[in-house]
Structure 1
Amino acid sequence: MAGVPEKARFYLERSVPQLREFEAKAIFTPEEIRSLVRKRGDFEHIVLSPGSKPIDWMNYVTWEKSLESLRAKRCRRLEIRTSTKHTGQGRVFGILERAVNKHPGCLEIWKEYLLYARDTKATKKYRKIMTRALRMHPAKSELWVLAGRRSAGNGDMQAARGFFMRGARFCTRDATVWLEYAKCEMEWLEKMDARKGKKGGAEKAIQEQAEHSDDEMQFAEDDSEDDVDENGQLVILPDPDKSAAKKVFDKAITQVLENNPALDGAIPLAIFDVSKKQPFFNATVAEQFFDVFSAFTKASSQPRIIQHILDSMSELYPNDAATCYCYIRQPLIGIDINTPSYPKALKEALARLKSSLSTTTSKPKLVEKITAWINTTLSSEELDSGIRTVLTHTLRTLSNP
Structure 2
Amino acid sequence: MAGVPEKARFFLERAVPQLREFEAKGIFTTDEIRALVRKRTDFEHLVLSPGNKSTDWLNYAAWEKSLETLRAKRCRRLQIRASSKHTGQGRIFGILERAVNRHPGNIELWKEYLAYAKDMKATKRYRKVMTRALRMHPTKPELWVLAGRRSASNGDMQAARGFFMRGARFCSRDATVWLEYARCEMEWLGRMDAKKGKKGGTERALQEQAEHSDDEIKFPEEDSDDDEVDVDTQLVLPDPENSTTKRVFDEEATKQLEGNPALDGAIPLAIFDIATKQPFFSPSTAEQFFDLFASFGAVSAQAQIVRHVLESMTRQYPNDPATCFCHIRQPLIDVGANTPSYPKALREALTHLKSSLSTTNDRSRLAEKVRSWIEPILASEDLDPGIRIVLEHTVQSLHKP
Instruction: Please report the TM-score for the alignment, with normalisation by the length of structure 2.
Output: 0.96
CA drift of 1:385 comes to: 1.1
SS in 2 for 1:258: coil
Query: Are 2:49 and 1:49 equivalent residues in the alignment?
Result: yes
| Cα contact 1:128–1:229 (8 A) shared by 2 | no
Alpha carbons of 1:178 and 1:331: their partners in 2 closer, same or farther (altered >3 Å)?
same
Q: What does 1:204-353 align with in structure 2 at a 5 Å threshold? A: 204-220=204-220, 224-228=224-228, 234=234, 235-238=236-239, 240=241, 242-243=243-244, 245-353=245-353
Letter in 2 for 1:144: W
- % identical equivalent positions: 69
Distance 1:230 1:208 in 2: 28
Letter in 1 for 2:52: S
| Cα contact 1:178–1:275 (8 A) shared by 2 | yes
Query: Are 2:161 and 1:161 equivalent residues in the alignment?
Result: yes
Distance 2:115 2:203 in 1: 35
Distance 1:193 1:87 in 2: 45
Q: What is the aligned partner in structure 2 of residue 146 from structure 1?
A: 146
After superposition, the C-alpha distances for 1:146-176 in whole angstroms (9 at most, x for unaligned) are: 1111111111111111111100001111101
CA-atom RMSD in angstroms: 1.7
CA drift of 1:247 comes to: 3.4
Distance 2:342 2:85 in 1: 56
CA drift of 1:200 comes to: 1.6
Show structure 1 runs of 4+ deviating over 6 A: 229-233
CA drift of 1:216 comes to: 3.2
Unpaired runs of 5+ residues, structure 1, are none
How many aligned residue pairs are there? 400
CA drift of 1:258 comes to: 2.6
Distance 1:222 1:287 in 2: 46
Q: What is the aligned partner in structure 2 of residue 178 from structure 1?
A: 178
Distance 2:71 2:243 in 1: 41
| Cα contact 2:228–2:238 (8 A) shared by 1 | no
CA drift of 1:40 comes to: 1.1
Q: What is the aligned partner in structure 2 of residue 63 from structure 1?
A: 63
Q: What is the aligned partner in structure 1 of residue 125 from structure 2?
A: 125
CA drift of 1:227 comes to: 1.5
| Cα contact 2:61–2:96 (8 A) shared by 1 | yes
| Cα contact 1:225–1:236 (8 A) shared by 2 | no
Distance 1:161 1:228 in 2: 21
Q: Which moved more, 1:326-335 or 1:378-387?
A: 378-387
CA drift of 1:29 comes to: 1.1
Alpha carbons of 1:45 and 1:231: their partners in 2 closer, same or farther (altered >3 Å)?
farther
SS in 2 for 1:87: helix
Letter in 1 for 2:279: P
SS in 1 for 2:296: coil
Distance 1:358 1:161 in 2: 43
Distance 1:240 1:48 in 2: 38
Alpha carbons of 1:157 and 1:220: their partners in 2 closer, same or farther (altered >3 Å)?
same
| Cα contact 1:185–1:267 (8 A) shared by 2 | yes
CA drift of 1:251 comes to: 3.2
SS in 2 for 1:91: helix
CA drift of 1:210 comes to: 1.2
